[in-house]
Homo-oligomer: A and B are copies of this chain.
Amino acid sequence: MKRNTWQREAVREALDAREGFVSAQGLHAGLRDAGSPIGLATVYRALADLAVEGEADSLQSPEGESLYRACSTGHHHHLICRNCGLTIEIEADAVERWAQQVASRNGFTQAQHVVDVFGLCDACSLREAPGTT
């Protein structure tokens, strides 16, 4: 049976408190800094569980790290600033349909998909673009 521990709750809360995506390492560091004695392995486990249960979204950063984020509800995708990490959830039925179509049209079943858009947010764009340096 699944038990309730303060650790799992702590991870859930820490995740909720974040704006964008965080790595397990990052979240653990944050918790430790906040005084929690929670262990690293536990954070990994808790995040993996949350992701399975649908309470968290997960994706791979370009560097290969697994990133997590508290997930509102339902299936959606993300628009992520690769400079400051700002994340915006986006829904796009059109893309969902397209993915299904592409899959079945090619004889594929049990289709899943990875759809994420990375870029520079409004604010960060200004700092990168101006100087034609």
Instruction: Report A's interface with B, CB cutoff 8 A.
Output: 60, 62, 64, 66, 79, 81, 88, 90, 92, 94-95, 98-99, 102-103, 106-122, 125, 128-129
Contact = CB atoms under 8 A, between A and B. Distances in A.
A113 B113 contact: no
Q: How many copies does the complex hold?
A: 2
Contacts of A90: 102
Given A109-B120, A111-B117, A113-B118, 19 more contacts: A60-B64, A64-B64, A79-B103, A79-B108, A92-B98, A95-B98, A103-B117, A103-B119, A108-B117, A108-B120, A108-B121, A108-B125, A109-B119, A110-B120, A110-B128, A112-B118, A113-B116, A114-B114, A114-B118
A114 B114 CA distance: 7
A121 B102 CA distance: 12
